[in-house]
Amino acid sequence: MDKETWEEFKKEFPKAEIKEIDGKPTVIVDKDEVVMVCDFLKRHGYTLPASISGVELPDRFEIVYHLFSISKATWCVVETFTSKDEPIVPSVYEVFKAADWQEREIFDMFGIIFEGHPDLRRILLEEGEDDFFPLRKDFNEDGSPN
Amino acid sequence: MALRTEEIIVNVGPQHPSTHGVLRMLVTLSGETILKVDPIIGYLHRGMEKIAEKRTYTQYLPFTDRWDYLSPMFNNMVYSLAVERLMQIEVPPRAQYLRVIAMELNRIASHLVWFATFTLDLSAVTMSAYMYGFREREEILDLLERLSGGRMLYSYICPGGVRGDADDEFLRKLDKFLDTFPKKVDEYETFITQNRVFQLRTRDVGILPLETAINYGVTGPCLRASGLAFDIRKAQPYCVYDQFSFDIPVGDKGDCFDRYWVRIREMREAVKIIRQAMENLPKGDILKKLPPQYKVPEGEAFVWIESPRGALGVYLISDGGTKPYRLKIRAPSFSNLSVINEIARGMKVQDLIAILGSLDILLGEIDR
């Protein structure tokens, strides 16, 4: 993004923290703002939702959106957090259709609920009665819970 | 008697030759028209991301072969790139060139499998194109075996460089292959490209508009067929791709034929790249040796490369230990398949097979 757009971004989202991680501009935002931030970035050229990933940190879950601008060949990364007791994040499905499957995968693997997702169900694992989320750190590789 | 219409649900797969693996689809039909496609995936889920968290960086390399088992070089490459980025390793120039040769050979091999199975899906058995694709692939597998020791799963590209040097015999055979292969592609084209049945089955079938493609995160030949010349080898060059001259084949409409046409031309471009890499192959080391177990500095890296199916990415987070803290795989087939409901809607049921074949998905990578 050029300077003007960053100024506009800061004006629109004063609470967002801007950093540079791994050579990519990264904005860390509150989860309530994440849909608006993604929409803003989409309008400013970051149209390709390359990847949406879930990460478990010791005290919270992190959702990382890697957005790419094809015309400028640059990245913008959006990070947001949610607590472990109540893992709920708004869905960005309305902005990026790619979120449909990517968020389902995160739900499948971490049990994070995406509010507003049209069809939130398991995608890779079988639907079952048990609540098990394999990519959580307290889940062992052999399938046994801690 | 009054005519009655009724929606029916047809189950395709998971064991079906045209699903290219174990993909199941619930297809809602009204007569022969598709109303909705719901792909059900996960039959090949092996927990590749979880396994990464429990293995050291060296141990995990052979697992990467098994993400997309038709193009393991790219999986090795993207994993190695992520580790190298965090460790800030400089790779010797000869290794960089060998990586490009190995990857582009693998790209041709992967496209040949796609070509063979795609024509088979469209019942081109009588035209023998299926066997022709596998005939040339065999030559490439021999070449890669000479280079890496493996025919299917290589673990050839590793953090720090490559695990085997190109000898004279390899280069001689490669030279011969590069001379003959473009003629073989001409041969395929005489069979298929102008074939009337093939044209009828693929033209204007499964049109993917550019806007939709980007919004769903579709990349690779499928995106380029929709008319956008986006190729990571050009947009964000890695390895030494910035030193080669090659074109990005682009389609205009985004139908099945364009996706076919883009891949056929990509094979020719790959030959060009290998030729340049072979002629400029520098001398020197091929591997910057790392100990069997090493620590990767704390940090995170997201890298992506242009695999035969699209943008293959790895998001690697290290906590400074000997194992990855988190490794997320951005699989191109996963995003490419997610668009199928969008483009198959309104088409006839037999077109679904053509569309699925033209997307060139690979279930090992989708399910991980």
Q: Is residue B13 assigned to a domain?
A: no
Q: Per-residue pLDDT tens for B261-294?
A: 899 999 999 999 999 998 898 988 888 888 888 8
pLDDT at residue number B206 = 86
- Minimum distance, in Å, between the CA of residue A30 and any CA atom of chain B: 21
Assign B126 a pLDDT band (cuts: 50, 70, 90): low
Q: Is residue B259 assigned to a domain?
A: yes
Among B104-108, B199-203, B211-215, B337-341, the range scoring the smallest mean pLDDT is B199-203
Q: Is residue B180 assigned to a domain?
A: yes
Every domain of chain A and the residues it spans: 3-86
Q: Which of B301, B353, B332, B313 is nearest to B20 (CA)?
A: B353
pLDDT at residue number A90 = 92
CATH number for the domain harbouring residue B306:
1.10.645.10
Contact B46, B367 (CB under 8 A): yes
Interface of A with B (CB under 8 A): 21-22, 24, 47-51, 53-56, 64, 66, 70, 73, 75, 77, 96-98, 100-102, 105, 109, 122-126, 134-135, 139, 141
pLDDT at residue number B131 = 79
Placement of tokens 């953090």 in the chain:
B159
How many CB pairs lie under 8 A apart between chains A and B? 87
User: For residue B205, what are the domain limits?
Assistant: 47-362
* DSSP states along B45-75: ---HHHHHHTS-HHHHHHHHHTTSTT-HHHH
State yes or no: pLDDT of B128 exceeds 70.
no
pLDDT at residue number B125 = 58
Q: What is the mean pLDDT of residues B160-189?
A: 89
State yes or no: pLDDT of B3 exceeds 80.
no
| Residue of A38, A46, A97, A109 to mutate, testing the B interface (most B Cβ within 10 Å of its Cβ) | A97
- Could you give the ipTM of this predicted complex? 0.88
Homologous superfamily (CATH) of A3-86 is NADH:ubiquinone oxidoreductase Nqo5 subunit (3.30.460.80)
Q: Is residue B22 assigned to a domain?
A: no
Q: Is residue B9 assigned to a domain?
A: no
* DSSP states along B172-184: HHHHHHHHHHHHH
Percent share of chain B, pLDDT over 90? 30
Q: Per-residue pLDDT tens for B14-28?
A: 877 777 778 888 999
- Average pLDDT of chain B is 88
Instruction: Report angle CA B123, B124, B129 to the nearest 5 degrees.
Output: 145
DSSP state of B92: P
Number of domains, chain B: 1
User: What is the distance between the alpha carbons of residues B339 and B180, in angstroms, rounded to a whole number?
Assistant: 37
DSSP state of B259: H
Q: What is the mean pLDDT of residues B82-94?
A: 90
Among A29-33, A53-57, A135-139, B104-108, the range scoring the smallest mean pLDDT is A135-139
State yes or no: pLDDT of B127 exceeds 60.
no
Q: What is the mean pLDDT of residues A10-18?
A: 81
pLDDT at residue number A144 = 66
Q: What is the mean pLDDT of residues A61-77?
A: 90
State yes or no: pLDDT of A145 exceeds 70.
no
Q: Is residue B7 assigned to a domain?
A: no
Assign A143 a pLDDT band (cuts: 50, 70, 90): low
Q: What is the mean pLDDT of residues A22-40?
A: 87
Chain B from 269 to 328: CB within 8 A of any A CB: 299-302, 304, 311, 313, 315, 317, 326, 328
Q: Per-residue pLDDT tens for B307-335?
A: 999 899 999 999 888 989 999 999 999 99
